[in-house]
């Protein structure tokens, strides 16, 4: 049981007290100017900074019955670290805008901070939360901005794939989508509402799928490696391989031909499941792929279809669109 | 009347279609890599980037009955531009994380984009929205990250005020708080719920107060000027002059002595009203203040009180704390 007197709600605390509790969990700043002033000052040694933002909203993006504070913080960091990596950059700092009901317990807030710190430590050492913002909201929302350094590299865009290139991926495909299915199929009640997860009822593979959904571990360090090894195009796979590959194909003016034999035992999940946060990249065909990347297809000249699967148009849903696919009635 | 067929909800559109409508309103990118890839790449010529985030949440921070989409976008940009300016930096780019109900009309989204663009154009030419994120949420939320360039300057922190320095301010004090009072006193119904604003019933001064609340115009260009003119400490006044001055005093290890004679006709609002987004700065006493700044007090050696008003401790509420002062029942 939580001792409510030892774990106040944020509504019972001053903003300053909440901030101090968060900062205590984050460790020492790596910034030129860290938290505590009007803004942070972050090194950008080569005269450029990579910047991206991604938001997790209670309901569409996570459910409190399924997700711990730690996992929420971990995932909010991880999805943004992956976007920085997909440019060929190394993450340098996060800014976190946390909007939460005033009934939120302080332990939940510090749990988020612990998850943010762990994701940085495990996925992007040297990166840290260097700033942020606290607000009250009826809807728990974590918006993370990630900054990154290219260290002299040319950023790898979606638009550089050329016919003849090898299509490759680093990281998991389809696993996070299977983890989401585990949640909806195994941990909902008769009214389809989420109930707490009991991992003891799951097989080991299901637990791995669940971990990929709740605490994704994208291959952040491989983004700069891919850049150094000549990647011609790269992007984070967040909305499903088919949909994201079609975006890369459109940006590059090519066709991306995928091979299901390279997509493992569950090619349907690999093709259409969202939230992988794998790195999709294209490489010159005459060079070995960097360690951590595996071949999944070939770039062809542009044709009627942006993506082919085993040489044919894929029939069925391609991926996830938050404004089409989210249904608040079953949330 | 809005033609509902010509103004779909975001729930009726794909994410790509919404994004295209937004990007159409933002004008040409100034970034090395602008919107459309996994992350933006922004110039940071002197090897450093200033970064800050601030969030506006429906309920605590704005009410749709009172605030237009344009004003919401304008204010979301302005409050972040002020934080960049308070470091002595010039804003270079915004990232906007927009979380909104799927019943939101597209015209509302493009209105936010118009307001963001106008605030950049008027307050920080050269700055633009260079990235962002769209998500579904029950609670309309706008989280803006602002980046800025110091152009070789040493950032001006809160901690540099020295005894003997002149305390000065640029921008309005108290006006936004009076504007909020106008809203609560003149534009609520018998149940204290917001009703639409009819400016025609207001006196000219009330309209100015309302504009300061809904479309704040902080003196962004004066941040770098203050730095160049030797400001020893600087910060954005967002939670009320007294509270923010006490933060500067604590960070600097000094006492800030304010003089109400310099605070205009309504010193109480100037001292305690929030959301000014004025620049509070301290300057060496033997140099003229830069144009746009006016003297409001003097820095003294640290004593029992961080802030004095006309030489005495101020009795009463010092400012605004979102976790103590926001009451959802009257929101």
The minimal CB distance from A135 to the residues B38, B60, B137 is found for B60
Q: What pLDDT was estimated at residue A315?
A: 82
How many percent of chain B have pLDDT more than 90?
A: 92
Does one domain contain both A229 and A301? yes
Does one domain contain both A204 and A308? yes
Q: What pLDDT was estimated at residue A327?
A: 44
Does one domain contain both B29 and B133? yes
Tokens of A97: 């805008």
pLDDT at A170 exceeding the cut of 70 = yes
pLDDT at B89 exceeding the cut of 60 = yes
pLDDT band of residue A328 (cuts 50, 70, 90) is very low
In eight-state DSSP terms, residue A37 is: B
pLDDT at B20 exceeding the cut of 60 = yes
Q: What is the pLDDT of residues A209-246, one digit of tens each?
A: 999 999 999 999 999 999 999 999 999 999 999 999 99
The minimal CB distance from A137 to the residues B57, B86, B135 is found for B57
- Quick check: B53 and A130 CB within 8 A? no
Range list of H helices, A104-187 = 106-123, 175-186
CATH assignment of the domain containing B289: 3.90.650.10
Provide mean pLDDT across the span A189-196. 94
Q: What pLDDT was estimated at residue B34?
A: 96
Does one domain contain both B53 and B99? yes
pLDDT at A49 exceeding the cut of 50 = yes
CB B32 within 8 A of CB B49: no
- Quick check: B42 and A57 CB within 8 A? no
Does one domain contain both B143 and B171? no
Q: What is the pLDDT of residues A241-295, one digit of tens each?
A: 999 999 999 999 999 999 999 999 999 999 999 999 999 999 999 999 999 999 9
ipTM of the shown complex: 0.93
pLDDT band of residue A5 (cuts 50, 70, 90) is low
Per the prediction, chain A carries an average pLDDT of 94
Q: What pLDDT was estimated at residue B330?
A: 40
pLDDT band of residue A302 (cuts 50, 70, 90) is very high
CA angle B45, B47, B51 (to 5 degrees): 95
Packing angle of the helix pair B204-214, B175-186 (nearest 10 deg): 100
Closest CA to B161 of B218, B219, B230: B230
Q: What is the pLDDT of residues B249-289, one digit of tens each?
A: 999 999 999 999 999 999 999 999 999 999 999 999 999 99
Q: Which A positions 254-313 lie with beta carbon below 8 A of chain B?
A: none
Q: Which B positions 168-207 lie with beta carbon below 8 A of chain A?
A: none
| Residue B1 in domain | no
Closest residue of chain B to A243, computed from CA coordinates: B16
Q: What pLDDT was estimated at residue B327?
A: 44
Q: What is the pLDDT of residues B296-308, one digit of tens each?
A: 999 999 999 999 9
Residues of A in contact with B63 (CB under 8 A): none
The answer for residues whose C-beta is within 8 angstroms of residue B121's C-beta and 6 or more apart is none
H/E stretch holding A92 reads: strand A90-100
d(CA A165, CA A283): 5
Q: What pLDDT was estimated at residue A307?
A: 97
| Residue A135 in domain | yes
| A110 annotated ligand binder | no
Q: Assess A141–B contact: CB distance below 8 Å, yes or no.
A: yes
The minimal CB distance from B59 to the residues A11, A60, A138 is found for A138
Q: What pLDDT was estimated at residue B320?
A: 55
- Quick check: A57 and B135 CB within 8 A? yes
Q: What pLDDT was estimated at residue B5?
A: 62
Does one domain contain both A117 and A141? yes
Which residue among A88, A119, A149 closes a domain? A149
Residues of A in contact with B235 (CB under 8 A): 37-38
Q: What pLDDT was estimated at residue B325?
A: 52
| A275 annotated ligand binder | yes
How far does A209 lie from chain B, in Å, by closest CA?
24
Provide mean pLDDT across the span B211-223. 98
| Residue B3 in domain | no
Q: What pLDDT was estimated at residue A316?
A: 72
pLDDT band of residue B244 (cuts 50, 70, 90) is very high
Which residue among B149, B170, B205 closes a domain? B149
Does one domain contain both A121 and A213? no
Residues of A in contact with B135 (CB under 8 A): 55-57, 60-61, 322
| Residue A6 in domain | no
SS3 for B17?
Answer: helix
Which residue among A149, A176, A201 closes a domain? A149
The minimal CB distance from B49 to the residues A18, A141, A147 is found for A147
Provide mean pLDDT across the span A131-138. 96
In eight-state DSSP terms, residue B188 is: B
Provide mean pLDDT across the span A107-125. 98
The minimal CB distance from B137 to the residues A33, A57, A89 is found for A57
Q: What pLDDT was estimated at residue A78?
A: 98
d(CA B113, CA B74): 9
Closest residue of chain A to B53, computed from CA coordinates: A132
In eight-state DSSP terms, residue A155 is: P
The minimal CB distance from A324 to the residues B14, B322, B326 is found for B14
Which residues partner with A329 through β-bridges? none
pLDDT at A325 exceeding the cut of 90 = no
Does one domain contain both A117 and A170? no
Beta-carbon count within 10 A of A315 CB: 6
Q: Assess A136–B contact: CB distance below 8 Å, yes or no.
A: yes
Query: How far is CA A266 from its chain centroid?
Result: 21
The minimal CB distance from B324 to the residues A14, A236, A328 is found for A14
How far does B327 lie from chain A, in Å, by closest CA?
9
H/E stretch holding B26 reads: helix B15-26
Query: Residue with structure tokens 């989280």?
Result: B143
Provide mean pLDDT across the span A300-329. 76
Does one domain contain both A175 and A28? no
Number of domains in chain A: 2
Beta-carbon count within 10 A of A104 CB: 21
| Residue B329 in domain | no
| Residue A324 in domain | no
Pairing of the two strands A90-100 and A141-149: antiparallel
Q: What pLDDT was estimated at residue B6?
A: 84
From the candidates B54, B246, B323, B328, which should be mutated to test the interface with A, based on the most A CB atoms within 10 A? B323
pLDDT band of residue B315 (cuts 50, 70, 90) is confident
| A319 annotated ligand binder | no
Does one domain contain both B164 and B258? yes
Cβ pairs bridging A and B (under 8 Å): 257
CATH assignment of the domain containing B24: 3.30.1330.10
| B37 annotated ligand binder | no
pLDDT at A1 exceeding the cut of 50 = no
Per the prediction, chain B carries an average pLDDT of 94
Q: Assess B75–A contact: CB distance below 8 Å, yes or no.
A: no
| Residue A7 in domain | no
Does one domain contain both A20 and A99? yes
Domain around B177: 158-321
* A50 Rama sector, left if φ>0, alpha if ψ -120 to 50, beta otherwise: beta
Query: Residue with structure tokens 């510090």?
Result: A110
Q: What pLDDT was estimated at residue B269?
A: 95
Q: Which A positions 89-118 lie with beta carbon below 8 A of chain B?
A: 89, 93, 95-97, 99, 102
pLDDT at A317 exceeding the cut of 80 = no
d(CA A5, CA A35): 28
| Residue B50 in domain | yes
Query: Among the listed ranges A263-272, B124-133, B202-211, B309-318, which one has the minimum average pLDDT value?
Result: B309-318
Query: Number of C-alpha atoms within 13 angstroms, CB side, residue B310?
Result: 9
Does one domain contain both A192 and A277? yes
């Amino acid at each position: 049981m939580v001792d409510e007197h030892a774990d106040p709600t944020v509504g019972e605390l001053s903003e300053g007290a909440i901030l101090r509790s968060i900062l205590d969990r984050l460790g020492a700043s790596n910034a030129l100017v860290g938290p505590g002033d009007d803004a942070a000052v972050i090194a950008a040694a080569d005269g450029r900074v990579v910047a991206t933002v991604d938001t997790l909203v209670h309901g569409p993006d996570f459910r409190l019955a399924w997700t711990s504070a730690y996992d929420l913080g971990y995932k909010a960091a991880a999805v943004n670290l992956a976007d920085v990596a997909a440019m060929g950059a190394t993450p340098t700092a996060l800014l976190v805008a946390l909007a939460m009901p005033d009934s939120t317990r302080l332990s939940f807030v510090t749990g988020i901070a612990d998850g943010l710190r762990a994701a940085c430590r495990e996925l992007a050492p040297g990166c840290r939360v260097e700033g942020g913002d606290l607000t009250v909201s009826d809807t728990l929302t974590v918006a993370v901005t990630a900054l990154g350094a290219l260290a002299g590299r040319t950023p790898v865009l979606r638009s550089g794939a050329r016919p003849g290139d090898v299509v490759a991926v680093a990281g998991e495909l389809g696993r996070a989508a299977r983890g989401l299915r585990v949640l909806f199929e195994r941990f909902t009640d008769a009214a389809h509402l989420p109930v707490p997860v009991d991992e003891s009822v799951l097989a080991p593979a299901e637990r791995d799928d669940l971990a990929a959904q709740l605490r994704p571990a994208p291959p952040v360090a491989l983004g700069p490696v891919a850049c150094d090894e000549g990647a011609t195009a790269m992007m984070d796979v967040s909305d499903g391989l088919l949909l994201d590959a079609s975006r890369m194909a459109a940006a590059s003016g090519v066709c991306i031909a995928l091979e299901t034999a390279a997509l493992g035992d569950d090619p349907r999940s690999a093709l259409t499941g969202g939230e992988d946060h794998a790195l999709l990249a294209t490489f010159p065909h005459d060079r070995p792929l960097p360690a951590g990347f595996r071949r999944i297809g070939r770039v062809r000249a542009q044709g009627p279809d942006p993506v082919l699967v085993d040489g044919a148009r894929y029939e069925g849903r391609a991926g996830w669109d938050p404004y089409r696919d989210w249904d608040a009635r079953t949330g």
